[in-house]
Amino acid sequence: MLNTYSEYIESYLSKSGLSNRPCPGEHHFVSAYLVPRLFELNQRVPDYINPDGTKGIIGDIVYYKDHEHQFGIEAKLGTIRLTKGEFNEWVVNTDSMRWPHTFIGIGTTGIGLCSWAEFRTAYISAVAEKNTGWLPSLISEGYGPMKSVNTLFPILPTGKFFRKGTSLKESAELENSFIQALRNEIAC
């Protein structure tokens, strides 16, 4: 089992860890790393895990309570690539009731954890930085503007980015900080 997100990055995202294999993708990250930690924190199996293509399910990891959507986490690994539906509903649409609650992004430099509103602000800022005057608008096909997860980390609010550890001890300390932030984020 993986002990830290730094170990995940080293094993599955870094060039040396991949040994020329393709990156396994966010479903692997969610299954191998994130769901076990969420279960440890809340003792609940998510009602949905990576429900791609399932209309009306908000996020990659979704919890329901009393037959109603309670909490959704959207995870991105390496690249932020939002489908037409995700981009239109979660970035263009300003009704926060239709957004995931939480964003978790993992890149080669670390992991980010924030509310979807904080992610949305950082994402819009990152896209506008390269396209002066850009504002989100509905798209009819394809994907919203793609961004590297790593480019978002410096734009996230303070305390929302956890860098990759460089030693076992530092990785364990950073993991503990991330887990505490995750505990606080999912307390709903």
What tens digit of pLDDT does each residue of 32-66 get?
Answer: 999 999 999 999 998 888 876 666 788 888 888 88
Structure tokens given for 111: 């992991």
The pLDDT of residue 55 is 67
Instruction: Say what the pTM is.
Output: 0.92
Least confident of 43-57, 107-121, 133-147, 166-180: 43-57
The residues near 184 (Cβ < 8 Å, ≥ 6 apart) are: none
34 closest CA partner among 13, 58, 61, 6: 61
| Of 60 and 140, more confident | 140
177 touches 162 (CB < 8 A): yes
Which residue is associated with the tokens 């030693």? 167
Beta bridge partners of 162: 111
124 touches 91 (CB < 8 A): yes
d(CA 25, CA 12): 9
d(CA 23, CA 77): 9
d(CA 63, CA 57): 10
Beta bridge partners of 161: 112
